[in-house]
A = this chain, B = another copy of it.
Amino acid sequence: MKVTMKDIAKEAGVSVATVSHVINGTKNITEPKRSKVLEIIEKYHYVPNSTAKNLRTQSTKTAAMVVSSFTDSFVNGMIYGVEQKAREMGYSLLLVNTNEDEEYEKKSINLLYSKMVDGIILSPTSNDINYLNDFTESMPIVLVNRYNPVVKNAPRVTGDNFRVGYDATSHLIQHGHRNIGVIYAVPNVSTTEGRLAGYRQALEENGIMYDEEHLELGYATVEGGAKAAETLLKKEKDITALFIQNDLMTIGVISKLKELGLKIPENIALIGFGDSPSAAITAPPITNMVLPPQQIGAKAFESLSKLINGETHVENIELPASMVVRKSCGCE
């Protein structure tokens, strides 16, 4: 049998209230009793049942983070950031992986809603998150990375994806490229859309016609990248530069280009996204656009804790993008 507070109280010859008070320091308990209680607790390795505590206090000191993938290094960075901050603030973290499955995402949010957690950090699978409005009034939710302005009462923390697309494209244009292809992974999410808007704007400012045929969608895997590169380059033979929005895909693209006998950056210049360690080590090293995932995660948890503590309006946060120049863009 599991030992409860009642057992401790009985053995120490005090009431359960007293035991509770010595554990939580909610009232001054004088010496003979106090240490007796502590001693019995020690003796039985007693640890309070948090299920009961949760029910009584209506709080679990647990937050959930719902992400669409575990294998993505950017997502991993965000998780790390949230983890750190949560730990720092005395929270546990319930991680849920939706695997880019919208239905599973809804189900998970519903499950989480049953008071198992004090709040949710969500990186949505798609743009289609109207359903969240059923929850945001009674459950603290913050959106991270991806978002959709239709959701009310849920602050967001994101990266400056417009800038990611804009700077990458501008950089390539400055190096003389005018036919720039884009390989991307997830349609209909704010991140992709932001980057494409930046791409478009950069083209426009330089008097280059936007051509939808220069965009290629693929799966966010090594093979997906290789395949996307192949079909795009077969279709659009004048492309001289590629902006690839996912680091796994970049690896696939590189291998495909080698296979096709195309030299990087001489025949095709490359700019990738993310800061996975392999970027510096491939041949050639890849120039990347980067957003700070850990920071995004940390800020997200901060926002969430504000919400949990009853702050009524928490503002949106957008973190800046930067560029790590290596060899693949033909700079040096």
Contact = CB atoms under 8 A, between A and B. Distances in A.
Contacts of A278: 222, 251, 278, 282
B54 A51 contact: yes
A219 interface: no
Contacts of A222: 277-278, 280-281
Interface residues of A, number: 45
B76 A80 contact: no
Contacts of A255: 280-281
Contacts of A110: 47
A316 to B, nearest CB: 26
A127 interface: no
A115 interface: yes
User: Chain copies in the assembly?
Assistant: 2
Interface in A105-143: 110-111, 113-116, 134, 138
Nearest to A94: B94
B47 A114 contact: yes
A283 B55 CA distance: 57
A83 to B, nearest CB: 6
Interface of A: 2, 45, 47-52, 54-55, 60, 62, 70-71, 76, 79-80, 83, 92-97, 110-111, 113-116, 134, 138, 221-222, 248, 251-252, 254-255, 277-278, 280-283
17 contacts: A47-B114, A49-B114, A50-B114, A50-B116, A51-B54, A51-B60, A51-B115, A51-B116, A70-B83, A71-B80, A92-B96, A93-B96, A94-B94, A94-B95, A251-B281, A254-B281, A255-B280
